[in-house]
Every structure is written in C-alpha cells, then in structure tokens.
Structure 1
Amino acid sequence: MTRIAPWRAALVGVCLAAMTATSAWAGPSGTLTRLVTRFEALGGGDQDDDSGGAAEGRWRLPDVTRTADAARLAKLKAIEAELTAMGEAGLSSQETLTRELLLWTVKDRIEAAGFDESRMPFSSDGGFDVMMLYRASGLRLKDEAEARRWIALLTRMPDWYAVNIDNARRGVRAGFVQAVPTAQAVLERAQRIAATPLADDPLLAPLRALPASVPEARRAALIAEGETVVTAKVAPARAGFARFMADEYVPHAASSLAASDLPDGKRYYAFLARRHTTTALTPDQIHDIGQAEVARIRARMQEAMKAAGFQGDLPAFIAMLRQDPRFYATSRQQLLEKASEIAKRADDQLPAHFGVLPRLTYGVRPVPASIEKGYTTGRYFGGDPKVGRAGGLMINTSELDQRPLYELPALVLHEGAPGHHIQTSLAQEQTGAPDFRKSLYFTAFGEGWGLYSEWLGEEMGIYRDPYELFGRLSYEMWRACRLVADTGIHWKHWSLDQARACFTDNTALSPVNIEVELKRYISWPGQALAYKVGELKILELRRRAEQALGARFDERAFHEAVLLDGSLPLAVLERRIDAWIAERRR
C-alpha cells in the first residue's frame, strides 16, 4: 500500500502532493493549460503527502473547513463545464490524455463532495491526528529558516485539530460515523499519542536532526522552542481529541459495520467500489470475482505445500508456518536487514525486466514506534528529489512473532521495487506532463501494479524456496479475500467472524495482521477492492499482448507502456495498451 492515508479515501484519483498556485506545464492548447492551472491552484483540500509533502506543501496544513470545501466544489464544477465544452478537437495525444485525466479527476471529486466525507476524518489506520507524525518522519530540515517554518507549522496544529473535530461532530449529528471497533481503535491511538513523552515525540525529530551547518547553540535553542510549542499547544490539542473521542464519538459510533447502513449508504458504497476499482463493477460482481480467485489460488497453494515436502493438509501446513520459529526474525534490526537484502536482490534483477528506471532511490525504514501498534505490516512513503528525500519502504518491526519471513519477499516487491517505488517515481519523473498528472494515484492502477509486482517476482527469481513462494501465494490470497470480505461486510452485512474466516482458512497471515486488516476494511470501505481488480486487468493486458505479438513481445517495452504515462483508470490503461499492441504489430 502506498502513501495514501485511509482517512482520505476521497483523494483516490486526485493529486496527492500539495499543489502550487501555478503550473510549470504549458501545452499548445491555451484553454487546457488555463484549466490545468486553475485546478492545480485549488490545492488538495484535505490532501497531504504522508511522507513529508512537496516543497511548499510541507509548511501548510490542508484547509478542511466547510467554507473551503464549498468554494473548491464551485470551482471544480466550473472547470468540469469548461473541459466538457472544449472537447478534444485539435489536441495532441498527450493533451487529450491530460484532458481526460483532469475531467475524470474533477468528476470524481464532485461526486465525492456529495457525500461530505470530511465528516469522517480518521480511520483505524490513519487520520488527521497522525498526519503530522507521518510528515515529520519524512522531513529533512536543511537550515534554521526551515526549522522556524516547521515550528510555525506546529503552532497551527490546535486549529487543525479543532476544525477536524468540528467536522467529526457534524458526522455524529448526521449519523455518518465510523463503526464501534474503529472508533475504539482511534480512541486508543489518541490516548497513546497524548501520552507520548516529550523526549520521544516524533514532531521534534526533524529539529533534533538539524545538520551540523546549524551552530550547536542555535540547534539547542530551536529544539527548546519546539519543545515549548509541543508542550503548550500540541499536547492540549491531542488531549482534547482523546476526550472528544471518549465523551462524544465512541458513545455514538455506528453499531453496524456496513458502510451501506450509513445515511445514503448503499449509494455511497457503490460509489466507493466504482472509485477504487475505476470500473463499473457492482459489489456483487466483485464478490463473485473474489470467490473464484480464492478457489484458483488455493489450488496453487496446495502445489507449493507439496513442493515443500509437507505431508499433512493445508490447514496443518499453515499452522506449522505460523508456529515454527525458523520463519521469524529475532530482532527488529534483523527484520530490517532481511528486508534490505531482498530489496537489493530485486534491484539486481530490475534491468532485465525494465528498460526505464527512476532516478530516485529508496531506503528501508522502520514504521515509527509511536504509530506501529495497529499499523499495517508495510507501506511505501514517496520521496521527492527536489527536497532531498528518498522513497521509504516502511517495515513494521513490532510483534516479531507476527511478521513471518516467508511473506517478506512479496511485501518488499509490492511496496518497494518493482512495485510502488518504481510506479510512483516514474510518474513523478514524467516530462512534458502537468504537475497533477505526476502525482495522480488511481488505487486500482497503483495497487494493481503492486500486486502484479509480487507476481513478477516469480519471473525475477526472488522466491528462493517453496516457503517464500507459498508466502507470495498467501499474499495473493489475502487480496482475493479482500474482495470477498470488503463486499461481505459493507454490502452483504457479514459479521466480523464471517469476514475473518476467509483469511484464517485460506492464508498464512498472522493473527495480528488479520485483525489489523479487518479493522482497516471496516474503516476504509472499498479501498481493498482495488488490488485484485487492478492486478487481474494488468495480467489480462500482458497476456493479450503476449498472444498478439508472440516472439515480438518485449516485456520491458510492455512495462514502459503501462507505467510511463503515470497512474491511469483501468479503462484508459486498456485502451492505451491496445493501441501499443497495434503499433507493435505493424
């Protein structure tokens, strides 16, 4: 999973990086250029780059007031009308794509605005309350001036908390609230963050890491100033949020797990399914796809089990994997080092499969201790060469007996390279494209590519024994079960036990991982549908190209055709790959 935080589900398919008021892009069409500039000038509303933000976005907090939302919506509707009126006549191929992606994005944001999602500003996996912790983890302050801008931003955090709490109160009044398990998880997180000792506060880490070019006395003074702000301003805001959750939100949390039981919930969940998959698939159709994939993958898992020489049945094999200590790291550092070793083996194979690679590098880092409890097992944080920040493959190093090593290769390939790091970095490095296209993220494309990258690991020779191959298949089964569980919970009103059964019966995921994931699906409806739907489409297009081109099929060229235009809705990707196939056949 890449850097999009689940509480910002409305941002799928929109620009993630903080936008500037003007765009460096200018196409031959003056009308399109002006519309792109107007869109980028809107900023992202509640958007934020978890890993540190773009150059100027680092020093701003998103404006999530109702007034700002209404103003953005009016401007989006005006842009939509003008984009529709201008048509495609006279546009170049890339301008046509830019217009299509901009129109798709604007329409998506307008439809999402009708559900007023800002009333639900947190999930079990993220929220406004941890946004600045994420930003701090990727921030590198280069001088005293930047340190002062960071401190100034910290002083504005009480207002940020206040407006988000006000939005959540609107949700409480309307019944547009998270379910009880999510509300309880957010309360516990808020209490942990409020109790963070000053010496361990991640918000102060960028100040403590100031470079030696800042004189020692000035560094000490800046750290002291930051500590004062955190103590006097941030800490009371955090405590107030914990009280709000305990006194006002948890008592009114939804008793039903299903998003379809929210006000206008059936229409809302159907919209989320369309948004995250970028298809017209209904929840029932997606559920059926998931069940078919579960049956197919289970057969391959049986084959991998036999290759390992295991004599029992699949449940016994999974039980053995969960309990055998040889499959688990014994220290946090060992887990990080193992992930790093896998990442370098993958790097060694990349040129054989990719003709174009990004300039940006990435590193392997631990998930910050302050948020690791209840956090997903791994995630990618995007980098930015303009501010000197590499991409980050974040590994959760807590609860080591729940982090099996046989799953680690698939995780590294998905979150690192050739997965999210390659896809998002190549998109970021596009030339001749406007800024909004460089940071677009359609979930089905991005997560579908991540899951495709796990599949590609077999061709790359990354899985070195039947156990690691089984780990990959277990991860694929995980994504198939997501189709079943997400639609089961939110559309078919399944209980938590019904949803859990697919994972416990068919995957080797650890119990902790299963519970964290179930909480995520409850609190982030629809997002989990994107992975399998996207991967199946990319594999379908690859097989179509292989069949059509035969010996002329070039895997590296295929990957370029998929990636070099950035993130795309699946229908747009399919059309462009079909055109690529036709061109290669000439």
Structure 2
Amino acid sequence: MDFRKSLVALSAIAFAFMASCSDTSLSNSEQLEALIAAHEGFDSYDKKKYRLGLYTPERYQKEADFADSLLTQLAKLDTTGLCDSEKISKELLTFVLKDDVAFNDFKRYLNPLLSDSGFHLNLNYRVRPLNSYAAVINYLHVLNAIPDYVDQHFANLREGIATGQVQAAVIFEGYESTYDDHIVLDFKDSFFYSPFKQLPSSLTEAQKDSVLVAAQEAVSKNVIPQFMRIKQFFEEEYYPNARQDIGVSSVPGGAEQYQDRINFYTTSEQYTAQDIHEIGLAEVARIKARMQEIIEELNFKGSFADFLRFLRTDPQFYAKTPEELLMIARDMAKRADEQLPRFFKTLPRKPYGVAPVPDAIAPKYTGGRYVGTSKNSTDPGYYWVNTYDLPSRTLYTLPALTVHEAVPGHHLQGALNNELGDSIPQFRKNLYLSAYGEGWGLYSEYLAAEMGMYTTPYEEFGQLTYEMWRACRLVVDTGIHALGWTRDEVVDYMASNTALSIHEVNTETDRYISWPGQALSYKIGELKIRELRKKAEEELGADFDIRDFHEVILGQGTVTLDILEQRINSYIERNKEQ
C-alpha cells in the first residue's frame, strides 16, 4: 500500500475512533498513529482551487474545531506501551494543535504583516526556475490566482483595522519598496516574468509560443495591477489606521496574546515577561564583561562606545563588493564543513549553497538567513547573505552568521530533520519550533569557537556581539510588548550594547515590534542546550562524548525544550549505568 492510501486508511480509522471511543480494539500505538494520520490527512480547503491558499475566517475556524477534537482524543490516550519516539509524537502533536486553536482564538490571521515580510512579499518565494512544462503550467496558475489571494488578505486586514488588530505604524518606514519594485511599465521587467526568460529546453516551439502569450497576459493583467492595488490599499487604508503604540499589549487582548507567544516561542509555560527580561539583563552583563576583556587584550585606547564606533567605521571590517562578501562567506562555510565529522556522527545528505538575498526583499531583510527545501526536492538548501548596503555588513560577525545559518546550524539541523525517514511522522519532519531551531543556531555559534572558526579577536568579538544581540532581544522584546518601552529606547539599548551596524539595529528593532515573542526563542533555547551540555559533562566526566551528545540533541528532530531535557537526562542515566 502506498503512502497516500495508507494515510487515507489511517485517517478513516482515526475518524471512526474519534466518533466512538468505546472501541478498544486498537492498541495505544495504533490509536496514536490514527490520530496523527487524521491530523496529517486533514484538508481544510481545495489546494488545486486555491493555488495560493485559502485565508478566510471560516477556514481557520474549521481548523481550530478539528484541532480541538483531536486534543480531546489525545488527552484520553494512554501512553502505556508507547515507545519514546511515539511519546514525543504525542507531546508534539498536542503542542501543535494547541497553537492551531490559539491562532484562531486570537485571530492572528487579521495581522499577517511583519517588518520584513507579508502576504504580498510571500509571493516572491513563488518565483523560481521552471524545469518542466508541468512547472510552467503550475506557475501560470499561481500568477493567475494572485487577484483572489489579494482579495482574501484585504478582507482580513480590513477586519483587523475595524477591530484594532493592526501593526505598529513605525515598522512601515521604507515599506513602499515591497510593492513599488513590482509596479513596472513593461511586463518583461517584472520579477514575476523572469522565469519565462529561460524556458525548459524540453518544450516544443508551439508550447513556448503559447506559454509566452499566457505569461504576458498573466503578468500584465494579474500581477502588476494587483501590486498597484496593494500600494493603494497600504497608503490610503492601512498606514493611516496602523497603531501608534509599538507594543502588542496595546491591542485588544494584547497582554494575553503576548503571554501566549512567550509560551509558544519558549515551548514552555514557565516564563513571564518579567522573568525573561531579568534573564536578559543578567546575560547582557555577563557577555559585556567578556567583550570588555577582548577590548583590553587588543590594547584599544578608548571606551566601549569608542570601540563599537571603530568597528562600525573602519574599512578593514567591510567587503568592497557584493561578490567579495559572498566569496568570504563561502570560504567560511567550507571551513565549517571540514570540522563537522569531529563533532557529529550523522551528517545530512542534502548539500547547501551560498547565495545573495534576492534584491526584491533585501532592503528590509536581515543580514542572512537559511532557506531549506524538502527532502525530495532537487534544489539544495541555501545560506542567504544580504549584500544590500555593504557598509552595514560587518565581516567580523560573518563567521558567527555563517555557522548559525549554514553548518552546524540551520542547514545541518533542518536537513537531518527532513532525512529522519519513517522513524518519525511527517508532521514532525515539517515542524519548526524556534526555541529548538534558533536555540540550536545560537548554540552553533558557541560551538564554532571549538571548531576554530574565530581566527582573530575581532571575530571572537563578533561572536560575542551576536550572542549579545540575542541576549538584548530578551530585554527589548519584553520591554516593547510588556513594559512600555519606546522605539528610541530599544534602538539606544541595542546600539550601546552590540556592535551591530545602525542599519541592522533599526531593521531588527522593527522586526521585534512586528513579531512579538519570536526573538525570545534564540537565547532561551541556547541557554537550555548549554545547560544540558554542562550537566552531561559534569555527570559523565571522562565518558562524555560530544558526538554522542549532539546525536541525542538532533536525533529526534525538532522537539520542545522540555522534551529535549528529558532526552538528555535519559542519555546521562544510560551512560552512568554502563
């Protein structure tokens, strides 16, 4: 039986099980498998009809109701006889379903905009090379679906305006670039037309001719005019109604929504905003002390602020061309590659490339990011490096950025997660939790010191300023969304405690304003991994093996921090008994 037929069969079992819990003929494992299959097989809308997705309140209510029904059955499921991986699946499915319910309860779909992304910016990710006739036809369907996609989001955003669920006005400075660049006079100059400039060689001449005619019509009638509508909507409707307060606590139900985001992004219910704020202050003080030591070791004559000014202005710390920046990033990535066998037992089969952030999104984009692909995709993963505004792209922070986004950071962790095969269900292969994933990325920056990636005191300072950056996030995110901080206070705090360029400080500040809670995940996750490593080292002594430790951290893919702690505790006990 193929996978799809198996999924359909298991979904049928699950629905029958949910309808009548008196049937005890299924084992606990079979009941869990059926509930997982129901979750994975649930389809809230017709994917062929809505090529770019369905974003109506009715869809989200349908998904929340279904999630709630599954939660009821999961709560009744006895874990007796379940293996460790199955227990993890049950716990993770519960976590995911609770967030599905919360998404609808807080109506987060009414506010789908971030400082560096949004519903219209997401369309950029649909543009990619076309390698077959089927891919060409599918892409044409996508372009022609844009008007309905825009209409759906306009409806939600207008409801958000009416109910006060809107973004802060301050994050939209420069936002016009996200749509103005797509308003062109000649359809051939559209970014969305670019894939048609190199059609697959497998197409016949007749197919090429018909495709180019269809492409002109799609871009001229369903792409460019929609970005004109988007421009008009933002500038005439949304910006005038965006909120003046920067914290999410200022919107209706905002304090409860922020606590929900804290719980989600730390994968824990143990923290309040004040707890995290105080952890951040303590980390800032610790890291700053080490940074000061490096300044003294360099015999720099001046204050901490003078040293940051030196780092931000001296030409030695900046690439002269985008090509030079990419070349240096590739060199660093390759140096990280060679160290992996010394620290990891299992390495991913999927390779990765180093590429620039696309021009269409670069001005408001972060310094770099990892973009993964599915296991069966013929595309590699990509470590994107932002080559826009070179005077803001510091070379001394590039090693830390590289190991975070490429290896041993996001690419290694994400690719291994995708390659776990049948040992975990599909929903776990697709799952990304920031406390785990971003915590691992930040831990990778720490690990890179042992890998020999920081070759100068300036690069070590760069690693510390990136760690300081994440520690500052704990302070400023809670400051923004719970403690009433102004944007100027956030910028001043970030600028005075990190060596980030002022451009990056401003870009990151807008990101924290627009995305409550996400910035907390990095440092909270990293602190937990380092805490668990220290515990394993102390309790196992000479028997501690860094490759075994990392195997346990990565071996079950994405998990919550509570699950991760349980796994490391079990690993320690097993090794003590040997």
Q: TM-score range by the shorter chain?
A: over 0.9
Is it true that 1:172 corresponds to 2:161 in the alignment? yes
Whole-Å separation in 2 of the counterparts to 1:226 and 1:74: 40
Of 411, 436, 455 in structure 1, the residue corresponding to residue 401 of structure 2 is 411
Distance 1:21 1:313, change over 3 A: farther
Structure scoring higher RCO (CA < 8 A, sep ≥ 6) equals 1
Match of 2:89 among 94, 98, 108: 98
Counterparts of 2:537 and 2:212 in 1: how far apart (Å)? 58
Q: Report the counterpart of residue 225 of structure 1 in structure 2.
A: 214
Of 109, 122, 130 in structure 1, the residue corresponding to residue 121 of structure 2 is 130
Q: What 5-or-longer segments of structure 2 have no aligned partner?
A: 11-26
Deviation at 1:221, TM superposition (A): 4.3
- 2:244 alignment partner, one of 242, 247, 255: 255
1:303 to 255, 271, 293: 293
**1:495 paired residue number:** 486
**Structure 2 CA distance for aligned equivalents of residues 62 and 125 of structure 1:** 21
Q: Which amino acid aligns with 1:150?
A: Y
Superposed counterparts of 1:379-458, under 5 Å: 379-431=369-421, 432-458=423-449
Asked if 2 retains the 8 angstrom alpha-carbon contact of 1:25 and 1:434, the reply is: no
- Matched with 1:51 is none
Question: Is it true that 1:88 corresponds to 2:79 in the alignment?
Answer: yes
1:494-546 CA-partner distances (Å, limit 9, x unpaired): 11111112211111100110110011011111100111001000000000000
CA distance in 1 between counterparts of 2:174 and 2:97 reads 33
Are the counterparts in 1 of residues 536 and 572 from structure 2 also a CA contact under 8 Å? Answer: yes
For 1:20 and 1:127, how far apart are their aligned partners in 2?
Answer: 32
Report if aligned partners of 1:23, 1:36 keep a CA contact under 8 Å in 2.
no
Residues 258, 491 of structure 1: 8 Å contact kept: yes
Alignment of 1:154-233 (within 5 A): 154-195=143-184, 198-215=187-204, 218-219=207-208, 221-233=210-222
Compare 181-190 and 520-529 and name the one that shifted more.
Answer: 181-190
Deviation at 1:188, TM superposition (A): 4.7
Q: Which residue of 1 aligns with 2:266?
A: 277
| Gap regions ≥5 residues in structure 1 | 1-18, 47-55
Q: Please name the residue that 2:346 is paired with.
A: 356
Q: CA deviation at 1:331?
A: 0.7
Residue identity in the other structure for 1:404: T
Name the amino acid aligned to 1:381: V
**Count of aligned residue pairs for this structure pair:** 557
Q: Quote the offset at 1:412 in angstroms.
A: 0.6
Q: Residue 231 and residue 114 in structure 1: after superposition, are their counterparts in 2 closer, same or farther (change >3 A)?
A: same
Contact 1:442 1:567 in 2 (8 A): yes
After superposition, give the CA deviation of every residue in 1:102-141 in whole Å (9 maximum; x if it has no partner).
11111122123210000002111111101121232xx443
> Cα 1:499–1:196, aligned 2, differ >3 Å: closer, same or farther?
farther
Please show how residues 30-179 of structure 1 align to structure 2 within 5 Å. Answer: 30-42=30-42, 60-136=51-127, 139-179=128-168
Give how far 1:144 is off: 0.7
Match of 1:373 in 2: 363
> Could you tell me which residue of structure 1 aligns to residue 566 of structure 2?
575
Indicate conservation of the 8 Å contact 1:36/1:102, yes or no: yes
Aligned AA for 2:31? T
Matched residues in 1 for 2:179 and 2:148: separation?
Answer: 17
Deviation at 1:24, TM superposition (A): 9.7
Question: Structure 1 residues 274-283 or 341-350, which shifts more?
Answer: 274-283
Give the structure with higher Rg (CA).
2
Q: Shift in Å at residue 187 of structure 1?
A: 4.5
Give 1:6's aligned residue.
none
Structure 2 contact 55–153 (Cα < 8 Å) conserved: yes
For residue 373 of structure 1, give the secondary structure of its aligned residue in structure 2. helix
User: Equivalent residue of 2:382, what SS?
Assistant: strand
The farther-off stretch of 141-150 and 206-215 is 206-215
Deviation string for 1:376-402 (max 9, x for gaps)?
111110123412011011111011111
Alignment-derived partner of residue 504 in structure 2: 513
Tell me the amino acid that sits aligned with residue 472 of structure 1.
Answer: Q
Aligned partners of 1:57, 1:582: CA distance in 2, in Å?
51
Match in the other structure for 2:230:
241
Q: Which amino acid aligns with 1:214?
A: L
3-state secondary structure, aligned to 1:499 = helix
Change (3 A) 1:520 1:311: same
Compute the TM-score of the two structures, normalised by the length of structure 2: 0.92
| Cα RMSD after superposing both structures | 2.3
TM-score, normalization: structure 1? 0.91
Q: Does 1:29 align with 2:26?
A: no
User: SS where residue 383 of structure 2 aligns?
Assistant: strand
CA distance in 2, matches of 1:468, 1:388: 35
Distance in 2 between residues matched to 1:345 and 1:59, nearest whole Å? 44
Quick one: which amino acid aligns to residue 363 of structure 1?
A: G
Q: Deviation of residue 216 (structure 1)?
A: 6.0
What is residue 315 of structure 2 aligned with on the other side? 325
Tell me how far apart the structure 2 counterparts of residues 30 and 367 of structure 1 sit (CA, whole Å): 45
Work out the CA distance in 1 between the residues paired with 2:559 and 2:424: 14
Cα distance, 1:208 vs structure 2 = 3.3
Could you list the structure 1 runs, at least 4 aligned residues long, displaced by more than 6 angstroms after superposition. 19-22, 24-28, 56-59
The answer to which of 402-411 and 27-36 deviates more is 27-36
**C-alpha contact (below 8 Å) 1:22/1:41 kept by paired residues:** no
Deviation at residue 60 of structure 1 after TM alignment: 3.4
* Cα displacement (A) at 1:370: 1.1
Cα 1:423–1:233 shift into 2, 3 Å: same
| Offset, 1:157 | 1.0
Distance in 1 between residues matched to 2:323 and 2:570, nearest whole Å = 47
Cα distance in structure 2, aligned partners of 1:132 and 1:415? 23
Structure-2 change in CA distance of 1:207 and 1:552 (3 Å): farther
The percent identity for this pair of structures is 40
1:3 equivalent in structure 2: none
1:268 aligns with 2:257: yes
